[in-house]
Chain A
C-alpha cells in the first residue's frame, strides 16, 4: 500500500490547495479556445488505444472514460470521441462528481482543480483496473499511471510502468516510447 508521506509531492500539493481551489472558482475558459483540453482529449483517446486491460471484465461493455473536473476536457471528449470505439467497445464519457467513490472506469482523469479527492481516490483505486490520469507535478509518485506535464511550451505525458502493472494494464511500446519520461 502506497501512502503519501509528508514529504511527497501530493503532500506539498495539498498545502497549496487553497490557492488551487481559488483558481478553480474562476470563470471557465471558452472551450473553443481551450487548447490544453483538446490535446488532452486526443491523448486520452490514443492512450486508450495503446493500452491493454488484463481484466476480462474490462474488455466487455462500454469503454468508460470518467472525468472529475476538467469541464472542457469532458465537453471535448463528448464532442470528438463519444461516438468512437476502442476495439469493439463503444466509448462512454462520464462526468463524475468530486468524490473518491468512483464506479467502474477504464480511464479516470482527475483535473488539477479536483486534487482534494486524490489521496482518498488513490487509496480506493489500488489494484483496480482503472488507469488514473492526472496533471500535477509528482503524480506518478502518488499513484497515477499517466500524468500530463508541460515541457518546452508543449503538453506531454509521463508514464509509470509500475503503477500500470499495479492496475493490471499492459502499456504498448509506442505509448512508452513517446512519453516524455517513463518510470519503470
Chain B
C-alpha cells in the first residue's frame, strides 16, 4: 500500500513540476498579475511548442495579451504591430477552436480590434495623416474580410473614401498649384461612385471639386493675358464646369430641397454662361423655406 501511495505522490509532484514549467500556465499567471511583457514573452514561447501550437486556448491567451499590449501603446508603431499580432492570434484561435469553446471571446476581441483600426484610420484623417489612415483602413478591411469574406464593406469603404477625398480637397484648396491633390481627390470620389453611384456626398463633392478647379483656372488668369490666352483658359475652365454639372445634377436629383446643390447648380450654370438655368436654380434656392424650417 505504502509504495503505491509513494508512486502516486511522485507522479502528482512530477505533474505539478511539469505544469509549473509549462509556458502557457506561466504566461497566464503573468497576465493575471498584470505583467504584460512577461506574459508576452512566455506566450510567444508557448505557441511554438508542440503542445500548444494547435491549442486554441494558447492562441486566445496570446490574442488577449497582445490586445492589452496594443491598448497600452495605442497610436504607436509598437501598438500597431501588437494589434496585428493580436488579430492574427485571435483568428488562429477561431480556426483551431473546432467545438467553439473560445469562439465568442475570440470574436468579440477580434471585432474590437478591427473596429479600432477603422477608428484610428478616421483619427489619422482628422490629424491629416493620410498614409497612416489608408494603411489602417486597409488593415481594417483585411481583418473584417478575413473573418467574414462575404461582409458588405460598401458603407465603410464609401464613408472612409469620402473623408479621404475631403482631406485631399482641403490640401488642394490650401494650395491650388498642387494639382496632385486635385487628382487624388477626384480619383477618390470616383472610387466611391464606382461602389455606390448614388452616394450623395461623393456626387456633391466631386462636382464642387471640378467647379472650384474651373473657377481657379479663370481666377489665376494673369491680368496681362491677351484675348487668345484668355479664351484658351476659358475653354479649359469650361471643361471643368461641364465635368461638374452631371454630378451636381445627380446630387440635386437625390435631394431636391438641399440648398447647397441648388446654389452649386446656379454657380455651375452661371460659369457655363447659361443664364436661364442659373437663374432657375437661384430662384429655387430663394424659394426654399428658411434654414430652420427645412
Contacts and interface: CB of A to CB of B under 8 A. Distances in A.
Interface stretch (B6-14, B19-27, B176-184, B274-282): B274-282
A42 B225 contact: yes
B237 interface: yes
Nearest to B219: A38
B165 interface: no
Contact of B272 (A26, A32, A153, A174): A153
Interface residues of A, number: 25
Contact residues of B: prevailing secondary structure: helix
B227 interface: yes
Given A38-B221, A174-B227, A33 B267 contact: yes
Contacts of B282: 23, 26
A26 B270 contact: no
Interface in B240-267: 241-242, 267
Interface stretch (B45-53, B62-70, B93-101, B228-236): B228-236
Contacts of A150: 273-275
Among B226, B227, B274, B286, chain A packs the most CB atoms within 10 A around the CB of B227
Nearest to B214: A35
Nearest to B218: A35
B271 to A, nearest CB: 5
B238 interface: yes
Contacts of A153: 238, 241-242, 272-274
Contacts of A23: 279, 282
Nearest to A80: B223
A33 B215 contact: yes
Given A39-B234, A154-B234, A154-B235, A178 B227 contact: yes
Nearest to A154: B234
A36 interface: yes
B234 A46 contact: no
